[in-house]
Structure 1
Amino acid sequence: MKTILLGLIFFMATPQTLTDFPLVKSATGKVVRLSVPPPDGNQILPRPIDVWLPPGYGQDTSAHYPVLYMHDGQNLFDSALSFIGVDWGVDEWMTRLINEGKIRPAIVVGIWNSPERVADYMPEKPVKTLNRSILSELFKRFTDLNKSDDYLKYLVFTLKPEIDRQFRTMPDAPNTIIMGSSMGGLISLYAMCEYPAVFGSAGCVSTHWPAADGLVLGYLKTNLPNPGYNRWYFDFGTETLDKDYEPFQVRADTIMQQAGYQPGKDWITLKFEGADHSERSWNKRLDNPLLFLLGR
């Protein structure tokens, strides 16, 4: 049980009202702060939503854009707000790759995490298959692990329609991508398995497979969408938490192969020697998922 959900309370936003959260300062493009509260009956906490618009968005009003939804939104654009003082550099990487003609211009939606990050990001259906003794221990440690279905419902039925209403998006699944790291990788996987007609691609960076002792792998095997429509990016490093991921990722890769996914076409897994489990490492290699998921 020591491996279950180890280290997964990283990067949590502290409890505040939405007006108390500082605004993001991006190096490139423009960030718009939205308040999109969850509907009545949805258990997740309200949180800031930061929408990054690529350079040139306001110039050509006929242009429409793919949308990349990313978890842990406070860690994406501004080092002053990020967990360890280093952000992903999403705005810089996006602008650089767009200017080089390597990726399509896209809107990025940064969804901040909450003090209930584990409950929001731990795939709910696999957890419910655990026996009662393990569930009891988990609930003692984390209070509630039954919010990820509500989190996804919020993304699909509340947030995405609002983004599509306010901005010039390409709302179909091939142009709707979801991505995150660690537990954010798990919830991205869960999102595309649960809503494959909404999310056409998923980026799972340093996926925290050991959560619940790899239980999500069994879920993936039975719920993986059929190949030919969805695209998957996986990666992992070899240091700190990431050093435990390779055996799980090998099993995930086997599941992908057996399902008929084609490496390099609709699925890719990359290993980064010496990379640890941090925003610094994810920043260094962010071009890889962006090129695979948004490449021209």
Structure 2
Amino acid sequence: MRRGLPFFALVTMLFSLLSHADIDRPLNQVSSGQLDTIGSFESAFIPSRRIQVWRPDNYNSETKYSVIYMHDGQMLFDATTTWNNQEWRVDEVAGKLQAEQQTRPFIVVGIDNGGDQRRYLEYLPQKPYMRLSAEQKVKLFTPLTNEPIADYSTIIESDKYLRFIVEELKPYIDTHYSVHTDKHNTFIMGSSMGGLISMYALAEYPNVFGAAACVSTHWVGGSTSQENPITAEFMHYLKNDFPAPGEHRIYFDYGDQTLDAIYPPLQAQVDKIMTARGYEQTN
């Protein structure tokens, strides 16, 4: 029997460990549905990487499917290929939900992270980062690297990563699969740093994504300290740049053990901001 984490489990793994990357990754096996694998999806914005497209058992060209884009694709489907022998069990749970008609039909597009430090560079929201002072940028990176960085102002690549998804990957999926292409059927999801980039994607591309799921969102932005200037910038961004409610939905959760133990007071701040913006339990 395959071991794994529930689809919406409280993810408590260290964000740096999530990014373990193998040069030659074995093909993932799924228990439900079918998995299409693109070994190296080329991009003009970021290094190429593996893309996995999960389709439910009854997938057919006569039906239009919604699409969930998910980060950290290495962790989604097969625990026998992951660094910690755990997985999100996306295939099992997504298949069960659709078989029981609890959701509309959907496919899942798993996007591998770039490994180790690149995961951080691509998942840290760029606009909040750019509001930091030069000194704050250096301080943020000090725990993450032993080598000096030539230019802290240009190192973050989350805007490029989102352009890859929106301008390259989504058009490919829209063309090659029987899917709805509108924002009300296009969703994005991730955990820890993946939660941050999912929030950022919804804010930066409100006409592309209709909803985001942010699991154990890493509001400290790479640090394990709640006294972190990037956290204040995330809050500022939510207050001023996040789309108003009405046509968008967002999901947050967090645990209270290990790394997640630092999240509850930070998520409380976020919930207060979202409530002030007009978001409520329905969205």
- Determine if the TM-score, normalized by the shorter chain, exceeds 0.5: yes
Letter in 2 for 1:37: E
The percentage of aligned residue pairs carrying the same residue is 42
Aligned to 1:196: 206
The answer to whether residue 251 in structure 2 is matched with residue 233 in structure 1 is yes
The answer to whether residue 166 in structure 2 is matched with residue 156 in structure 1 is yes
User: 1:158-190 CA distances to partner (integer Å, 9 max, x unpaired)?
Assistant: 000001111011010000000000000000000
Say whether the 8 Å CA contact 1:21–1:48 is kept in structure 2. no
Tell me, in whole angstroms, the C-alpha distance in 2 between the residues paired with 1:82 and 1:202: 24
Say whether the 8 Å CA contact 2:51–2:111 is kept in structure 1. yes
Aligned to 2:5: none
Tell me, in whole angstroms, the C-alpha distance in 2 between the residues paired with 1:226 and 1:109: 27
Aligned to 2:121: 119
CA shift, 1:138, in A, is 3.5
SS at match of 1:237: coil
CA shift, 1:137, in A, is 3.2
CA shift, 1:12, in A, is 1.6
The answer to whether residue 263 in structure 2 is matched with residue 245 in structure 1 is yes
> Aligned runs of 1:177-188 on 2, under 5 Å?
177-188=187-198
Tell me, in whole angstroms, the C-alpha distance in 1 between the residues paired with 2:132 and 2:140: 10
Say whether the 8 Å CA contact 2:187–2:212 is kept in structure 1. yes
Letter in 1 for 2:109: V
More divergent stretch after superposition (135-144 vs 238-247) = 135-144
1:11 to 18, 21, 24: 18
User: 1:1-22 CA distances to partner (integer Å, 9 max, x unpaired)?
Assistant: xxxxx95322224363xxx322
Tell me, in whole angstroms, the C-alpha distance in 1 between the residues paired with 2:56 and 2:124: 31
Tell me, in whole angstroms, the C-alpha distance in 1 between the residues paired with 2:81 and 2:237: 34
Aligned to 1:261: 279
SS at match of 2:175: helix
Tell me, in whole angstroms, the C-alpha distance in 2 between the residues paired with 1:202 and 1:174: 11
Letter in 2 for 1:159: L
Tell me, in whole angstroms, the C-alpha distance in 2 between the residues paired with 1:127 and 1:117: 15
SS at match of 1:126: helix
Aligned to 2:101: 101
Gaps of 5+ in 2: 1-12
The answer to whether residue 228 in structure 2 is matched with residue 224 in structure 1 is no
CA shift, 1:114, in A, is 1.1
Letter in 1 for 2:280: Q
Aligned to 2:110: 110
The answer to whether residue 41 in structure 2 is matched with residue 31 in structure 1 is no
Letter in 2 for 1:188: S
Give me the CA root mean square deviation. 1.7
2:218 to 193, 204, 208: 208
SS at match of 1:9: helix
Distance 1:195 1:25, change over 3 A: same
Gaps of 5+ in 1: 1-5, 267-296
Tell me, in whole angstroms, the C-alpha distance in 1 between the residues paired with 2:215 and 2:182: 23
Say whether the 8 Å CA contact 2:64–2:105 is kept in structure 1. no
Letter in 2 for 1:197: N
Say whether the 8 Å CA contact 1:76–1:82 is kept in structure 2. no
User: 1:262-284 CA distances to partner (integer Å, 9 max, x unpaired)?
Assistant: 22x11xxxxxxxxxxxxxxxxxx
